[in-house]
């Protein structure tokens, strides 16, 4: 029987449950805790983290499990624990506050609020004893408690100032666009070149990626470079995009035994990852790898996609056909322990194959990271085979055989914790990744997974088909869905329609877009709030426009409005998408690395949207072939016969042959019968 149990014991989030037996009297966010703070006139301590967060575990062990520390927290504060993945809306607000106060942010995020929810002080990880210019957690608690007792007016003023700052920063870079838009000026080749040059200004042309350590995948920037290359044939863009993907795949960021990518690299060479594996990163990397494969046909990218999706199905896919959220970085309290190797362990398992395997994967006696080894590739396989005078196929077979043996051996270890909550938005991103992988590789299993997962979403995340929830676990869906959830879901429905030809997915996407416009719009600017208009428990309705670890819901909604506006001929939606881009254009031009999806959206307006309609008895076969080509800026619909409810498919004469129409503004060129002829037409547009 646990010595302590607090209010988190009733929660379903693995992160909150980790803290359910701390001596701290933790509450979940909700009326009970907020009312308690008001009644007792105590400040609120909000501590935000997530299950796969290494430093969250460290602070729990050092401070939240310590009875003396807990005693101080319980006496002077109402303590609330939040899983940032369950309540990203609260995380965004309080992260903004801490960044404004300290100049930096991260998790665990510890922020002190007035009883009405306004922040006045905070930071990230605090050690149990003062070290490296960081005050101890006990000192912070004592200082805040003392200020609350003696300097209430100052605290109230600080809270007012910070809340004002959050409201003000909510409109960064956004301009309401009135009247006619200067299309030639805002969406010109010069603008595309400027964004490319600004991206290359931060590019690491030696090790791939952008900026210095820590390095994140930045898949949106890679996506922009691939599309910029497609439009301009600028080889430097393709080179940097592929170098980045190659280095990530060859480095320790990639799990060479089990597939899948870790969240980021702690060094510039991609060797030492932060070992947690997030669902969204793997979805976004699969999409980028699919794009790169279509442009280059490089087998490496196909291998990375297949192995990553195999990992997702093996370790992050539920019997209900949903995707889990994350795998922890730690096991047995040690970061990366599950993934690293001693040379002697490998030699014991692989016997005579060990020498070549160790040399190829950079495994040494002394280790390449903290006296142990992270598998990584220093020399591409073909180059290594030539240097060792081994036929490429022989080497491939040896490495494959060895990886399988070591994966089996690794499965005997204590596994990292699985965060098994199911998030709507992240499921939708992975759904899109499966649709994209099916488009490129034609593996029917990928389409099956995408369609079954969408069935799960429609069954479990909503009661009425419009009001969706954000998170699901143990047959309970809760918290109203946020803008990102809806935006990614609409996008996934669009992609599913493309690969299946099922128009119902499109009609669903349209009705959800109408719902988002009604519930989330900010009328003055045309952007969307992160929370719907009925949500009462946030001090600010934020508008998120940055493309961070996941794409901005606003940026994805711009894509959705553009696509569905073309499909259903809704001029107002297409114009709204253009105005959203126009309103942010100065920030996007200057900082394309922070606005990668927006940059790509601007590129699509410059390049023009190809409207492709496939009609005839072999529509499915033609669609399948066409999907294999990289046509980034397009709307595609297919059906066996004309459909007058959908403008692109309307009023098309029947023909014994399947016809492919290339249209612009619903004006179609003479249809062709072969995909190769369509590709030729596209090149001449």
Give the model's confidence band at 630: pLDDT under 50 very low, under 70 low, under 90 confident, else very high. very high
CA distance 244 to 270: 10
The span from the CA of 678 to the CA of 49, in Å, is 50
* Residue 53 predicted with pLDDT over 90: no
Angle formed at CA 277 by CA 273 and CA 279, multiple of 5 degrees: 140
What pLDDT digit, counting tens, does each position of 284-315 carry? Answer: 999 999 999 999 999 999 999 999 999 999 99
Q: Model-level pTM?
A: 0.95
What does 410-451 look like in DSSP terms, one character per residue? HTTSPPPPEE--EEHHHHHHHHHHHHHHHHHH--HHHHHHHH
Q: Is 79 helix (H, G, I), strand (E, B) or coil?
A: strand
Q: What is the pLDDT of residues 99-122, one digit of tens each?
A: 999 888 999 999 999 999 999 999
Question: In the predicted model, what is the mean pLDDT of residues 568-588?
Answer: 94
Q: How many CA atoms lie within 13 A of 176 on its CB side?
A: 6
pLDDT for 179: 64
Looking at per-residue pLDDT, the higher value among 239 and 657 belongs to 239
Q: Tell me: the pLDDT tens digits for 175-203?
A: 666 667 777 778 899 999 999 999 999 99
CATH topology assigned to domain 7-169: Glutaredoxin (3.40.30)
497 confidence band (pLDDT: 50, 70, 90): very high
pLDDT over threshold 70, residue 161: yes
Q: Do 115 and 37 form a contact (C-beta atoms < 8 A)?
A: yes
Region 123-147 average pLDDT: 94
User: Packing angle between helix 571-590 and helix 189-200, nearest 10 degrees?
Assistant: 40
| All structural domains of the chain with their residue ranges | 7-169, 183-336+419-608, 343-412, 611-684
CATH 3.20.20.140 assigned to domain 183-336+419-608? The reply is no
Q: Are 118 and 162 in contact (CB under 8 A)?
A: yes
477 beta partners: 472
Given the DSSP bridges, would you call strands 277-278 and 326-327 parallel, antiparallel or unpaired? antiparallel
- Do residues 101 and 36 make contact, with C-beta atoms less than 8 angstroms apart? no
| pLDDT tens digits for range 421-464 | 999 999 999 999 999 999 999 999 999 999 999 999 999 999 99
Q: Label residues 410-442 b or e (16+ Cβ within 10 Å = b).
A: beeeeebbbbbbbbbbbbbbbbbbbbbbbbbbe
Looking up tokens 């492919």 gives 660
Which band of pLDDT confidence, cut at 50, 70 and 90, is reported for residue 665?
confident
Q: What DSSP element (H or E) covers 223?
A: helix 219-232
Q: Is the N-terminal amide bond of 108 cis, ω within 30° of 0?
A: yes
3-state DSSP call for residue 259? Answer: coil
Question: How far lies 651's CA from each of 130, 581, 647, 654, in Å?
Answer: 74, 33, 8, 9
């Amino acid at each position: 029987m646990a010595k302590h149990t607090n209010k988190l014991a009733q929660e379903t989030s693995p992160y909150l449950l980790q803290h359910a037996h701390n001596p701290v009297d933790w509450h979940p966010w909700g009326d009970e805790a907020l009312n308690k703070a008001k009644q007792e006139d105590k400040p609120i301590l909000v501590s935000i983290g997530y299950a796969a967060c290494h430093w969250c575990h460290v602070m729990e062990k050092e401070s939240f499990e310590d009875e003396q520390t807990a005693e101080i927290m319980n006496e002077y504060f109402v303590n609330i624990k939040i899983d940032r993945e369950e309540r990203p809306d609260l995380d965004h607000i309080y992260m903004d506050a801490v960044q404004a106060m300290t100049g930096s942010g991260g998790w665990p995020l510890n922020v002190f609020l007035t009883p009405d929810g306004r922040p006045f002080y905070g930071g990230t990880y605090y050690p149990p004893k003062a070290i490296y210019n960081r005050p101890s957690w006990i000192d912070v608690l004592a200082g805040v408690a003392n200020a609350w007792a003696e300097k209430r007016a100052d605290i109230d003023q600080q809270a007012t100032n910070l809340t004002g700052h959050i409201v003000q920063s909510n409109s960064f870079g956004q301009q309401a666009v009135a009247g006619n838009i200067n299309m030639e000026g805002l969406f010109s080749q010069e603008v595309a070149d400027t964004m490319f040059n600004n991206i290359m200004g931060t590019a690491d042309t030696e090790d791939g990626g952008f900026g210095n350590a820590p390095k994140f995948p930045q898949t949106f920037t890679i996506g922009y470079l691939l599309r910029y290359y497609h439009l301009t044939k600028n080889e430097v863009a393709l080179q940097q995009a592929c170098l980045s993907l190659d280095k990530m795949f060859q480095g320790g960021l990639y799990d060479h035994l089990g597939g899948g990518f870790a969240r980021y690299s702690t060094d510039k060479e991609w060797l030492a990852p932060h070992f947690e594996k997030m669902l969204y990163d793997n979805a976004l990397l699969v999409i980028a790898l699919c794009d790169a494969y279509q442009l280059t046909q490089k087998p490496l990218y196909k291998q990375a996609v297949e192995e990553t999706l195999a990992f997702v199905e093996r370790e992050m896919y539920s019997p209900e056909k949903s995707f889990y959220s994350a795998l922890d970085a730690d096991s047995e309290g040690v970061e990366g322990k599950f993934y690293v190797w001693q040379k002697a362990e490998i030699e014991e398992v692989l016997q005579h194959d060990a020498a070549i395997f160790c040399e190829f994967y950079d495994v040494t006696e002394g280790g390449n990271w903290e006296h142990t080894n992270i598998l990584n590739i220093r020399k591409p396989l073909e180059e290594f085979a030539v240097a060792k005078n081994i036929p490429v196929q022989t080497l491939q077979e040896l490495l494959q055989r060895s990886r399988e043996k070591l994966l089996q051996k690794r499965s005997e270890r204590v596994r990292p914790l699985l965060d098994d909550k199911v998030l709507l938005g992240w499921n939708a991103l992975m759904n899109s990744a499966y649709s994209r992988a099916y488009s490129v590789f034609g593996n029917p299993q990928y389409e099956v997974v995408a369609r079954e997962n969408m069935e799960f979403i429609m069954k479990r995340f909503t009661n009425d088909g419009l009001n969706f929830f954000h998170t699901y676990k143990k047959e309970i869906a809760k918290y109203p869905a946020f803008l990102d959830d809806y935006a990614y879901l609409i996008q996934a429905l669009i992609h599913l329609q493309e690969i299946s030809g099922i128009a119902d997915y499109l009609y669903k996407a349209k009705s959800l877009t109408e719902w988002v416009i009604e519930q989330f719009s900010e009328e003055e600017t045309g952007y969307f709030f992160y929370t719907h208009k009925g949500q009462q428990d946030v001090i600010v309705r934020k508008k998120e426009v940055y493309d961070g670890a996941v794409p901005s819901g606003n940026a994805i909604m711009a894509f959705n409005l553009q696509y569905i506006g073309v499909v259903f001929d809704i001029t107002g939606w297409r114009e709204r998408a253009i105005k959203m881009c126009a309103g942010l254009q100065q920030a996007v031009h200057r900082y394309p690395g922070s606005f990668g999806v927006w940059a790509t959206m601007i590129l699509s307006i410059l390049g023009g949207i190809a409207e492709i309609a496939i009609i005839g008895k072999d529509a499915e076969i033609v669609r399948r072939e066409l999907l294999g080509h990289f046509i980034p800026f397009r709307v595609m619909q297919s059906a066996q016969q004309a459909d007058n409810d959908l403008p692109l498919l309307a009023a098309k004469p029947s023909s014994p042959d399947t016809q492919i129409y290339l249209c612009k503004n619903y004006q179609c060129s003479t249809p062709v019968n072969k995909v190769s002829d369509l590709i030729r037409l596209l090149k001449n547009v």
